């Protein structure tokens, strides 16, 4: 079901960006801060790593909100997407150096510790890292060092079974209890409908556009 949960994940990415940028956890009942002037998402420089179905939906949502500075890195540059969405391509290292928020949208094929100590070191002081791809994409030891020092903040979709992270303030580190970004009623229904139609196509005409086994 290619792309069927892209909207759901993109929506969750936006939720994490807004919650952390507006310091929702520190300024709400989960924190002790009563007043603080925060940054605005609209005036942030946002870098997206990966420009597949989800990355494109995140970019479209950000531009729709009025974010001007949206950049992306992908192994394959996509000029048509750049023109359509009004975003700019940058090599990864350049993107990391200028972004206030970095959001990961890579597949598991990228490999473990894809985002490691070297990449984290290039990020600006105070920058936010959002990961809705897969846990192993992060070098957790390197990430913890950056978070514990107060230099970076991060938000992650999924449980992290590392006791060190449980001691970090929510305004510095947020993770969901399990993978939840993809899980909306609408996304699940769309996937069910798509699978049902594919089965009907295979049984009636013997082929389907999403068929992968021949």
Is the pLDDT assigned to residue 49 strictly greater than 70? Answer: yes
* Start-end of H helices in the chain: 6-21, 24-27, 53-65, 79-85, 92-98, 117-122, 140-148, 163-166, 185-204
Structure tokens at 59: 């970019």
Is the pLDDT assigned to residue 185 strictly greater than 80? Answer: no
Provide the pLDDT confidence category of residue 199 given band limits of 50, 70 and 90.
confident
Q: In this predicted model, what pLDDT tens digit does every residue of 168-184 receive, in sequence order?
A: 999 999 999 988 888 78
Phi-psi category of residue 153: left, alpha or beta, with phi > 0 → left and psi -120 to 50 → alpha: beta
Q: In this predicted model, what pLDDT tens digit does every residue of 59-83 receive, in sequence order?
A: 999 999 999 999 999 999 999 999 9
pLDDT for 213: 67
Is the pLDDT assigned to residue 214 strictly greater than 70? Answer: no
Q: Which helix (H) or strand (E) holds 155?
A: strand 153-156
Q: Is residue 152 within 8 Å of 126, Cβ to Cβ?
A: yes
Among 29-33, 119-123, 204-208, the least confident range: 204-208
Q: For all residues of the chain together, what is the average pLDDT?
A: 92
């Amino acid at each position: 079901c290619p792309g069927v949960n892209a909207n759901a994940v993109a929506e969750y990415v936006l939720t994490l960006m807004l919650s952390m940028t507006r310091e929702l956890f520190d300024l709400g009942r989960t924190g002790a801060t009563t007043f603080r002037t925060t940054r605005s998402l609209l005036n942030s420089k946002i870098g997206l790593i990966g420009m597949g179905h989800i990355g494109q939906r995140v970019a479209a949502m950000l531009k729709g909100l009025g974010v001007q500075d949206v950049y992306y890195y992908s192994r394959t540059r996509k000029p048509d997407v750049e023109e359509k969405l009004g975003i700019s391509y940058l090599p990864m290292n350049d993107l990391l150096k200028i972004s206030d928020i970095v959001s990961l949208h890579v597949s598991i094929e990228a490999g473990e510790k894809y985002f490691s100590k070297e990449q984290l070191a290039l990020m600006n002081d105070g920058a936010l890292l959002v990961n809705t791809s897969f846990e192993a994409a992060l070098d957790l030891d390197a990430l913890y060092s950056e978070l514990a020092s107060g230099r970076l903040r991060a938000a992650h979709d999924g449980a992290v079974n590392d006791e060190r992270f449980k001691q970090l303030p929510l305004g510095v580190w947020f993770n969901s209890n399990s993978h939840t970004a993809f899980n909306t009623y609408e996304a699940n229904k769309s996937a069910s409908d798509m699978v049902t139609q594919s089965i009907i196509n295979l049984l009636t005409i013997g082929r389907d556009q999403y068929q992968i086994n021949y």
